[in-house]
Structure 1
């Protein structure tokens, strides 16, 4: 196959991001006609349809394959520009997918030094069981995921384990459990409101199943689709919340939140996945690719914030989904 036109790959990536020819043209500062011509030329070269012209448009499976390649080209081009001291193109950025609880706790401090160096970053937020789909389909170059195994052409690095515990406010405990701890039990959990992040979030069901040996428990649910607002709602007494210990530790220590059954804990193992864009010798250097530096920064930040080791596969908390944003895997 002849070398692929970088400008056509830029158009494909812009179409994947903006889902319309008009917005892709605006992003690239060219005409819609130019976007269409470059896409048609790319489709003619590979002999396959790459984009379904729907509203919004979507990529075909061959289009997703080329999107992965386009993302990798963008990352390598940005690395070369950085080494030469040249400003990267304004529309180029490094997309990674993370789960909302990690974003709300340790991800931003971990990436802060790189952002202040000038890293152009795009954070895509989804459930940690689904971020891997964004990587597989080429929408991002790296992801924080619960998936252990690396995709072909990628590498996987253990980050640590996020631990979750059930908590409620003192006012909630007083109102629903007569002020007594642990309060929550097998006979009353179905009458007590639980906070839920969104419809992907089954953390509360997993916790109740583990705590009381109940299969498929039915809960009174109140939805709060933000990690920060979720914890705040627990503090305000909206319901029982299964919260990340790293996020709620100060509130638990101060008494603003009370752990209902601290002996019952869910552990979610996290891994960093990224495409291999260069030599894979594992040796960090001052000139290492920015994607490698992002991975190293996240690994260091997770180790400092989470501390817990990854459990062996037989010890994992299976079927546990974490908080997510209302996002859909790339189509």
Structure 2
């Protein structure tokens, strides 16, 4: 295959990001006709359809392969420009995918020094299984995930363990968990969990079911659900007494210390191992290229995770069943 046109690859990446020809053209400061012509030229060169022209448009499997190459090319181009002290021809955004519980707790402080330097990041938030799919498809160059195995051409680094616990407000406990007629057993137990409202982030979120299964030995428990699709609003809803929340311990430790929230069954804790995955860029396929921006992002995340997350007990063991919920 002949060398691929970098301008055409830029168009493919812009189409993937903007999901339309008009916005892709605006991003690249060219006409829609130019975007279309460059895409057709690239498709003719590889002999395959790369984009399904729907609304919104989507990439074919071949398009995803080339998108991955385009992302890697962009990252290497930015690294080269930085090392030479030259301006990058375009303002490159480095896309990485994270699960929202990590974003709400430790990811932003970890990445802040790089952002203050002027690094342009694009954070994609999705369920942990989907973050790895974004990496596989080439939409991002790195991801925080519970997946342990590295893709071919990627490397993986353990970050640590995020611990999840069930909490509720004192007013909720007094109202909902005092026991029937004031004489029955208090707290959350086998006899009342099905009637007690649990807060759920969205329909991908199964942390509550997993916590109940572990706490009471019930397979596929049916819960009374209230949906709150925001990380910050989720915790606030727990504070307001909307229901029981299953949240990262690190996220609510100050609220537990002040008495604003109370642990329910503190002996029951879900532990989730997190890993950083990134594509290996450049000619050195055996290790990180010194000073590469993606390597620096990985190092910053590893350092931030070490400051915040618990150490894994046994990295050679199986991945925990629990998985961080998706919170955009």
SS in 2 for 1:185: coil
Are the equivalent residues in 1 in contact too, given 2:178–2:186 (CA < 8 A)? no
Once the two structures are superposed, residues 110-154 of structure 1 have per-residue CA deviations (whole angstroms, 9 ceiling, x without a partner) of: 000011111110000001222100000010000000000000000
CA distance in structure 2 between the partners assigned to 1:163 and 1:182 by the alignment: 25
Q: Which residue of 1 aligns with 2:227?
A: 223
Q: 1:125 to 1:83 in 2, by over 3 A?
A: same
**Partners of 1:165 and 1:243 within 8 A in 2:** yes
How many angstroms apart in 2 are the aligned matches of 1:182 and 1:304?
37
Q: Does 1:194 align with 2:198?
A: yes
1:130 is paired with a residue whose SS is helix
Secondary structure in structure 2 of the residue aligned to 1:204: helix
Task: Please say if residues 255 and 261 of structure 2, whose CA atoms lie closer than 8 Å, have aligned partners that are also in contact.
Answer: yes
Q: Which residue of 1 aligns with 2:155?
A: 155
Q: TM-score, normalised by structure 2?
A: 0.94
* Partners of 2:204 and 2:112 in 1: CA distance: 29
Q: Which residue of 2 aligns with 1:22?
A: 22
- 1:175 is matched with 175
**Contact 1:182/1:261 (<8 A) preserved:** no
Q: Residues of 1 paired with 2:310 and 2:186: CA distance?
A: 27
Report if aligned partners of 1:194, 1:221 keep a CA contact under 8 Å in 2: yes
**Displacement of 1:84:** 2.1
- Note if 1:11 corresponds to 2:15: no
Q: 1:271-318: per-residue Cα shift (whole Å, max 9, x none)?
A: 000000032565784xx1000000010011001100321544645431
TM-score for the superposition, normalised by structure 1 = 0.94
CA distance in 2 between partners of 1:84 and 1:171 (Å): 61
Distance 1:150 1:117 in 2: 29
Give the paired residue count: 323
Partner of 2:137: 137
8 Å CA contact 1:107–1:298 kept in 2: the answer is: yes
RMSD: 1.7
Is the counterpart of residue 245 in structure 1 residue 257 in structure 2? no
